[in-house]
Amino acid sequence: MEGEGGAAGVKREDLVAGAQELGVDLDDVESCLSLHPAVLEVAVVGIPDERWGKIIAAFVKRGAPVEAEELNQFCQTSGLANFKRPRRFVFVADVPKSPVGKLLRRQLKERFREQTQAGFALRDS
């Protein structure tokens, strides 16, 4: 059976690398952010970072205007541990899912990698 929309045999740890290494449960972070009234959908992944090696990034589909600083503050005041807070918020038009509704984190990581390699700003489309 294929996982996360990728090739068979790909471990979840490989898809969320960084977050697992930090001992972060992605579901905790997603649950926290999903409680914000402006967030329609959210997926959290580990992404490469020049300074830290890997950081946690939240890909957010907005239902109302909201900025990264407001979401960061929301995470802080909601009691989410500092080491679990996303260091980057990426606003997306959609959060990719499989036909059965499973988050396709691999696609988000690939989208992030392609856009950063091309030098594009990560914004809503």
* Domain limits, the chain: 12-118
Residue 15 has pLDDT above 70, yes or no: no
Q: Would you identify the CATH topology of the domain 12-118?
A: GMP Synthetase; Chain A, domain 3 (3.30.300)
Residue 18 has pLDDT above 60, yes or no: no
Q: Specify the pLDDT at position 21.
A: 56
At how many degrees (to 10) do helices 26-34 and 68-77 cross? 110
pLDDT, tens digit (0-9, with 9 covering 90-100), for 55-74: 999 999 999 999 999 999 99
| CA 120 from centre of chain | 18
Q: Specify the pLDDT at position 59.
A: 95
Residue 29 has pLDDT above 90, yes or no: yes
Nearest one of 117, 77, 54, 64 to 44, comparing CA atoms: 54
